[in-house]
Structure 1
Amino acid sequence: MKTSASALREKPGALRRFWNAEHGTCNAEPMPTGCRTFFLVPRSARRMPGCLAFPFLAAVLLLAGCARSGPTADLVIINGAEPESLDPGLLTGQADGRVALELFEGLTRYDPTNAAPIPGLAESWDISPDGRVYTFHLRPNAVWSTGEPITARDFVYSWLRVLNPGTASEYAGVLFYLKNGEEYCSGNLKDASQVGVKAMDDHTLRVELKNPTPFFLDLCAYVTLRVVPRQAIEKYGDRWLMTRPVPCSGAYELVAWRVNDRIRLRKNPRYWDAKHTRSGIVDLLPCASANTALNLYETGAADVVWDKNLVPGELLDILLKRSDFHSFSYLGTYFIRFNVTRKPFDDARVRKAFALAIDKKRIVEKITKGGEQIASGYTPRGIPGYDTPEGLGYEPETARKLLAAAGFPGGEGIPLVQYLCDTTSRLHEQIAVELQDMWQVELGVHVEIRKLEWKTYLRAQGDLDYDLCRSSWIGDYIDANTFLDMFMSNNGNNRTGWKNPRYDGLIREANAQLDRLKRISLLRQAETVLVREEAPIAPLYYYAGLMDYRDSEIKGIFPNVLDVHPIQAIYKMSAKSNAQRSKSEMPTARQRTGFSVHNGPPTTDR
């Protein structure tokens, strides 16, 4: 999955507005004029090691103390960039997905302790001996937050909606494992009833796969496969996320979404496992600045920072020595895309020359400094049974020879090259400057850095409006396929223009392979084509996960390689939860909200 935020496409449903549940006003409005500005210096700065090196901690922190009051959030999380959509079938970004995972549930869900799939809306399932047919048994007590029952037909609708060509879901590929899923999505099959998902009755869902898929239960927990409310979508169309109330199937329901302020979630009392939801009201704050995120955390305006891009790189050496900054292994890769539809990057020799001129060690030691490992290949280490093949290392002399063989000795004849990066983190610009210097020194090529705001950057990437661009990918499940299938010719996340029939064939053959060792061998062959022979990408390093929270206060967070942390399990020790507070009690802590929140159970006439 993409990091930071979701990609922009000309597609329906990428809505960023939600109607305030109490006042009936649109929360996509600017900050109310009644807000007050506070100038804060964190008290914690007095006890923070090296605090004199933190001039930004004494800078202006803008907080909204608005006239309208409401209950204090039990938990405040800095979520990363402003989400573009909360629609499971359309979203693509981490920040978007983290919210949607709480609002909508799948047949399986993630175990909070290790991100393994555990029963969700399906209480049990049967698997055929050949591994191709799954029969899921839904919970009889599973209902939408608005009270209507959740049925197997809702899942059929949700999955076919993702596959429908008119939906233009970039993640439709995760359902190509279904029998006829790819054919229906491509438009070659018009009859949706031929796709391998059927409702046998209200509580029985039969799924037929093209081939045995060892990670299918993991996929069932993935956000794209989560159930969405058919009646609301058919009634309101693209605006279904703007209705009130939004029918939710997960542990939380959406109360309000104030763009560039916060998303507020409330415990869904009708959720089948509501008794294990630890925090009653949760605020998720959008933040694109690492310095601002740290400031909010240090001043107590946020309890958790869980976007790895929101830790100031220049302060990592100091912060990682603190007990409340947590680093862990993480299934993610930072890499460069080449636009192979543009000269000179239509030539694999040029692409490999640029890749071989990169000193990855210099980047992780000089810039990232967070425990990242140099990327030998594209797929990160840590996937059971998979040995990542070696890609291209740092070989500047070989790089110069390849460039000369392609007709550009010493970089002569190559026009000005543009490197595209986004402005969500200073880290991206710092890496861009380092790469710019390497390519100038080692290859004699002049590179111009083109910095774009996140949404514009994603649009340019999707439209192939770049020469080179920074990118990253986070594993959606613990299998090499989650990294490799995205570069198949028909995958919406390819975004390099690269099409290779041999690569496509190896991935398809691997996915049809029953023998585990043969499957791994085929995937390794495919990755060798990707990172060594053709090089439409240049991997730089593997991510290290970073989170900020105080162990003594925040419970229920368990670092894992997918960096998935169900909010249902997270709670703050020092706060009395709104899930436990009676309606008559008024919050005594400092208010963290700029809008009113209805405290009663969701109703249809709100």
Structure 2
Amino acid sequence: MQRASERRGAGGAGGGGSVGCGARGAAAALGLVILALSACSEGEGGYAGTTARVGKDTETLYINNGSEPEYLDPGKSNDSASSTLVQQMFEGLTTYGAGDLRPVQGVATHWEQSDDNRLFRFHLRPEARWSDGKPVTAHDFEYAWKRVLRPSTASLAATNLYVLKNGELFSLGKLKALREAAPLRAAPRPDAPSALDLPKGAFVVVLARSPIQVDTAIAPLAALPEGSAAVTFAKGDAKGGAGDRLSFGAAGGGSAGGGAAGGDAAAGGAAPLGSAPGGGWQGAVVDIVRVGPPCKCNGAADRWFEIERGGARGFLPGCALVPPAGNGNPGKESAGGAPRSEAYAVVTPHTSLPTYEPAAPPSGSAAQGDPPVGFVPDALLVEDDGAVGVRATDDLTLDVQLEQPTPYFTDLTSYVTLFPVRKDVIEAFEKRGEPELWFRPENIVVNGPYTLDEWKFRYEITMKRNPMYWNHDKLKIHRVVWLEVELYNATMNIYKAGDLDYLGDNTSLPAEHMDWLSTKRDFQRYPYLSIYWFEFNTKKPPVDDARVRWALNLAVDKRQIVEKVTRAGQMPATHYVPDYTGSGYDEAVAEDRKLGVDPFSSPDVSFNPERARAMLAEAGYEVVREGDGYRAKSFPALELLYNTSEGHKQIAVAVQDMWKRHLGISVTLRNEEWKVMLKNVRDGHYQVVRFGWIGEYNHPATWLGTLLSYSPQNRTGWADQEFDDLMRAAAATADPKESIRAFRKAEKRALDGMPKLPLYFYTKSTLVKPWVKGFKGNSRGLQLVKWLWNDPSWRDNPSNETASPELEFPTPGRLGAP
């Protein structure tokens, strides 16, 4: 996840805090921390700060959360500041056990699954209740999961539920149903011949909609040229005078041609259709009159379409066409002034639907050859989530059908995206036009251990025990106080003063204090399933060139960063998936290194300034000697964006210096508050930005999935069909070992494109007071408060038992042979 400084990110920024040697007071200014420390004992008994817990009851826990959360909505939470809090207030079918975070009983008490790991049937505990006393039902889970996938929800975490049958198609808005029977016509006319009749409720995949808008100055082609099955389409640079280009061939290349903006040259040697002024139809809203053959455009599955404007016709691939402005409703007239017929959708029937029966043959498996493609009136298409593979068969039974065997699925059910929410609560606020007010303290309804009590913006969030939680009586922490202090030094000092029991999941220790802190008895460090990386906006020059991106990568001495800047035992990263990731990935790493064939340990991916300069020169930016340093000739302005944090600033400054020393390029640094930065990144207002990614589940797909061309987590603009295909093949491979091998092959393909510059794999370094029991460092860097408690007799009690026993799942039952 992105977790707050990352996607469940790492790090954050904050606001208020509290100081004192016993009584916890509000911090009017962080400068008061230093004054308070002068009256406090430090380093008692080898600890980093006071060991006197004065004026605080044992049922209250004080933690720093770092940043202001973006959403306390499980379905939309996508950053660490949010998900850390959501984890305490909601509960999934499974929940993370303490320490190793394996799935233990949450709302579900047991399940059955099919032998091929595609079908699951979960059974819910009847005593589970929402905080308003209503029962937690399987219908709440079904609603919540489908809500995440609904396009209108715009959840950045929707990809976590692409594992459901038809989840991806539905979330992308491509899977629709017919609200009444209709013929699949060969042309967008009521009198066109029909290939077949589609019944009411039939599901179809939408390939395009007519009318559609032309997104290129290249004139439509009068005929399809040789090699049209593979297309490369490149948008031009209006400022630089370069026009759009369309080329064909086995890899989308081959015989190339192009058209300057407004010109009439087409690609591939075909005669241009010169009916539009200047030869091109840039911006025109046109009708699709015929569906052409399939093709791949820039590596992605696509089709050719014959389009019409004012009586003139020609061909363009779908990648050169976009939905028209105004939500696809251009008016009653066509671009040529003629009356426009009703809008049509280009669709193909979709019969691969959930069966929830292991023995049943896959629906639609008897179909041979390519499915028919044709036109239906767009007005007949409706959103229908009935084809998504999750259903409540009764209040306490939830059936799930997956698209592919997914070995990490029951791990994923412990993650926030799959938590239940209440339809009546959320939709009441949506109807009022206030969709984000449902998770305010006065409105929120939760099903987890704690409920939201107070939310003081940019200062403090408090929670209290949920009186209706099924395991309420076993919770030893009754109240949780979450500070929102972004500054690492301030957080450390508040902890030393005794006003924090735990530094927090989203807080890092100041690098300059790491050496002496690591000797203290309350210091903990453990591997962390997370990566720190820079993301490139591959649509913005100069980082739109992979050679430039690779040069920037090779010019960064990552070992120096972890040893001299961060100093917390992090591992320099040459690739995207932490080497210690489970599901067999760590075993594949060890095997490859033993054989000497690990692609991510080779010299080709390591720090190499000389090779970096050569690659920059190959990209057109010759690096020349200038005095004692270098200068990259004609290299344009470059800006590195990071969210406000002293730690992120130190890394940014170090990388800025390395790029200047080794490549001779000047980089401007820009820092913004976390939520402001997120918006600017979503809007594409960046060239290079720092992010991190915390594994949502212990499998390489959680990191690699952020690079899929269709993932809402892919902010880079990088799209590679071969990578997408490799990821699909890896997910569909039933043998776990072979599947991991396929994922590593996909990772190598992604690294070749360098859409993200990997810096290091995290370790989690933190401070936790000795009286906090049940605390167990884990690779997700996540602590569920329900397992924790304060032990006033900690000096005499060395044990570290959790607040209550974890309820293990029985061995899953079987749903039958596939």
Q: For the superposition of Structure 1 and Structure 2, which TM-score range results when normalised by the shorter chain?
A: 0.7 to 0.9
Task: State whether residues 573 and 759 of structure 2, in contact with CA within 8 Å, keep that contact through their aligned partners in structure 1.
Answer: yes
Selected match of 1:445 from 665, 678, 687: 665
Task: State the distance in 2 between where 1:335 and 1:6 align.
Answer: 10
Contact 1:354–1:399 (CA under 8 A) maintained in structure 2: yes
Query: Residues 200 and 572 of structure 1: is their aligned pair in 2 closer, same or farther, counting only changes over 3 Å?
Result: same
Supply the AA of the counterpart residue of 1:394. Answer: F
Query: Which runs of no fewer than 5 residues in structure 2 stay unpaired?
Result: 9-13, 15-25, 50-54, 176-382, 590-598, 624-631, 795-818
Deviation digits for residues 21-45 of structure 1 (CA, Å, limit 9, x no counterpart): xxxxxxxxxx999xxx885225445
Cα separation, partners in 2 of 1:46 and 1:101, compared to 1, 3 Å: closer
Matched residues in 1 for 2:439 and 2:38: separation? Answer: 37
- Whether 1:415 and 2:651 are equivalent positions in the alignment is no
Residue correspondence of structure 1 range 225-240 to structure 2 within 5 A: 225-237=418-430, 238=435, 239-240=437-438
Alignment match of 1:430 (pick from 644, 650, 655): 650
Q: Provide the rounded CA distance (Å) in 2 between the counterparts of 1:517 and 1:47.
A: 48
Q: How many residues align?
A: 535
Residue 3 to residue 175, structure 1, CA distance change in 2 (3 Å): closer
What is the aligned partner in structure 2 of residue 82 from structure 1? 68
Render the CA deviation track for 1:122-147: whole Å, top value 9, x for unaligned: 11100012211100001111111111
- Percent of residue pairs identical: 37
3-state secondary structure, aligned to 1:304: coil
> Is the 8 Å Cα contact of residues 46 and 520 (structure 2) preserved in structure 1?
no
Whether the 8 Å contact between 1:306 and 1:546 is mirrored in structure 2 is: no
* 2:594 is aligned with 1:401: no
The letter of the residue matching 2:729 is: E
Paired position in structure 2 for 1:244: 442
- How far the C-alpha of 1:50 sits from its partner, in A, is 12
Are 1:319 and 2:512 counterparts? no
One of 527, 549, 557 as aligned partner of 2:775: 557
**Which of 724, 734, 745 is the aligned partner of 1:514?**
734
Aligned to 1:260, which of 454, 458, 474?
Answer: 458
2:104 to 107, 118, 123: 118
The Cα shift of 1:361 comes to 1.1
Compute the TM-score of the two structures, normalised by the length of structure 2: 0.63
Deviation at 1:4, TM superposition (A): 2.3
2:676 is paired with a residue of what secondary structure?
A: helix
Distance 2:726 2:556 in 1: 28
Higher share in helix: 1
Partner of 1:599: none
The aligned residue for residue 377 of structure 2 is none
**Distance between the aligned counterparts of 1:401 and 1:261, measured in 2?**
49
1:169 is aligned, of 155, 158, 168, to 155
- Within the candidate set 467, 470, 486, 2:687 is matched to 467
Of 34, 37, 42, the match for 1:41: 37
Instruction: Work out whether residues 561 and 651 of structure 2, in 8 Å CA contact, stay in contact via their aligned partners in 1.
Output: yes
Tell me the amino acid that sits aligned with residue 131 of structure 1.
N
Cα shift at 1:464? 2.2
On the 8 A contact 2:535/2:691 being kept in 1, the answer is yes
Residues 554 and 352 (structure 1 numbering): CA distance in 2 closer, same or farther, change over 3 Å? same
Which one of 455, 471, 483 corresponds to residue 285 of structure 1? 483
For residue 537 of structure 1, the aligned residue among 740, 756, 780 is 756
| d(CA) in 1 for partners of 2:610, 2:45 | 44
The TM-score with structure 1 as length reference comes to 0.84
Partner of 1:2: 2
Q: How far apart are 1:242 and its partner, in Å?
A: 2.7
Q: Distance in 2 between matches of 1:473 and 1:42?
A: 38
Structure 1: runs of 5+ lacking an equivalent: 9-15, 17-30, 58-68, 577-606
Q: Which residue of 2 aligns with 1:212?
A: 405
CA distance in 2, matches of 1:32, 1:358: 39
| More divergent stretch after superposition (195-204 vs 112-121) | 112-121
Structure 2 Cα separation of the partners of residues 259 and 6 of structure 1:
20
Tell whether 2:489 aligns with 1:269.
Answer: no
Per-residue displacement from partner, 1:443-462 (whole Å, max 9, x unpaired)?
11111111222222222222
Asked if structure 2 preserves the Cα contact closer than 8 Å seen for 1:123 and 1:138, the reply is: yes
Which of 499, 516, 532 is the equivalent residue of 2:719? 499
CA displacement at 1:223 relative to structure 2? 0.4
Matched residues in 2 for 1:155 and 1:271: separation? 17
Contact 1:338-1:537 at 8 Å conserved across structures = yes
- How big is the shift at 1:47? 4.0
Instruction: Give the secondary-structure state (helix, strand or coil) at the position aligned to 2:37.
Output: coil
Check whether the contact 2:707–2:714 (CA below 8 A) recurs between aligned residues.
yes
Shift of 1:347: 1.3
Alpha carbons of 1:50 and 1:442: their partners in 2 closer, same or farther (altered >3 Å)? farther
* Residue 541 to residue 7, structure 1, CA distance change in 2 (3 Å): closer
The one of 139, 142, 148 equivalent to 1:156 is: 142
What is the identity, as a one-letter code, of the residue corresponding to 2:760? Y
Please say if 1:568 is aligned against 2:786.
yes
**Structure 2 residue identity aligned to 1:417:** L
Q: Contact 1:333–1:473 at 8 Å: present in 2 too?
A: yes
Corresponding residue to 2:80 among 85, 94, 100:
94
**Paired residues for 1:303-382 under 5 Å:** 303-307=501-505, 309-382=507-580
Whose strand proportion is higher, 1 or 2? 2
Q: Which residue of 2 aligns with 1:591?
A: none
Q: Is the 8 A contact 1:176 1:182 kept in 2?
A: yes
Give the distance between the partners of 1:3 and 1:234, measured in 2 at CA: 26
Equivalent residue number for residue 184 of structure 1: 170
8 A contact 2:81–2:506 mirrored in 1: no
Higher Cα Rg: structure 1 or 2? Answer: 2
Shift of 1:482: 0.8
For residue 264 of structure 1, give the secondary structure of its aligned residue in structure 2: strand
For residues 422-477 of structure 1, give each alpha carbon's deviation from its aligned partner in whole angstroms, at most 9, with x where no partner exists: 21x21211111111111111111111111222222222222221121222111111
- In 2, the alpha carbon distance for the partners of 1:368 and 1:45 equals 28
> Is contact 1:464–1:497 with CA below 8 Å preserved after alignment?
no
Partners of 2:641 and 2:756 in 1: CA distance: 14
Summarize the Cα distance change of 1:97–1:513 in structure 2 as closer, same or farther, 3 Å threshold: same
Deviations 1:399-439 (A, max 9, x none): 1111111111111111121111121x212111111111111
1:407 counterpart letter in structure 2 = G
Distance in 1 between residues matched to 2:45 and 2:59, nearest whole Å? 30
